[in-house]
Amino acid sequence: MAVTLAFDVYGTLIDTHGVIAALEKYVGDKAFAFSATWRDKQLEYSFRRGLMQNYENFAHCTRSALDYTSAFYKAELGQNDKEALLDAYKVLPAFDDVKEGLARAQDSGFRMFAFSNGSADAVELLLKNAGIRDYFVGVVSVDEMKSFKPNPAVYSHFLRRAGAVGSEAWLISSNPFDVIGAVSFGMRAAWVKRSADAVFDPWGIEPTVTVHSLLNLAEQVDRERKRI
């Protein structure tokens, strides 16, 4: 059976800080800090809704996180301003290593899926805008399960939808919580550590491999498969 790669989207393929240029118009030199808080709250709200079993989709979490961040930084954003920022979030760019990394993985014969907290429609738009949709067999969204990563049910859902088994399925993510969730469930996982300052959560659950760029992902997955 061909190895199946499940690529996280936000923060792994797509740069969530690509909204900084748009933010500078509204919050000036606070744009980077604003973007970081917005992203942190977006994830926090998804975790909380998953635990509470009070589901709203990822776009709702993103909007609520923007409202919180605007209040936190005392940014005077009107509704039209917020809508403009949310529109910018729908067309974020891919990281520089993504296209070539995906092309190398495709050449290696891997079956590749986008696997995201985002809704299928939102992810399709992001991938098409970034020019990378054609690398993927399909898009699998947690929205179909009305929960969020790292709920083990969503990783099980991915395997069912992809027609894969855990021993031949890898999650590819820059988000430690996602990597830990996948490995805990029984998948293999590659942590994409693009920044030397990134810290992996010390939970006693490690990624199968760590890569610093998607450019060497295919090589390292192949090497690990041969080692096992």
Closest CA to 76 of 8, 2, 26: 26
Region for 201 from its dihedrals, namely left if φ exceeds 0, alpha if ψ lies in -120 to 50, beta otherwise: beta
Side-chain-facing half-sphere of 139: CA atoms under 13 Å? 20
Q: What are phi and psi of 19, to 5 degrees?
A: -85, -5
Q: Which position among 8, 97, 143, 178 bears the catalytic label?
A: 8
**Contact call for residues 219 and 110 (beta carbons, < 8 A):** no
Place of tokens 């979030």: 89
> CA–CA separation, 189 vs 184, rounded Å?
10
Catalytic residue flag (residue 8): yes
> CA–CA separation, 212 vs 120, rounded Å?
27
Alpha-carbon distances, residue 218 vs 45, 147, 148, 177 (angstroms):
33, 30, 27, 22
**Contact call for residues 5 and 188 (beta carbons, < 8 A):** no
Listed in sequence order, the residues at least 6 apart from 155 whose beta carbon sits closer than 8 Å to its beta carbon are 149, 171, 181, 182, 185, 186, 187
Q: What are the catalytic residues?
A: 8
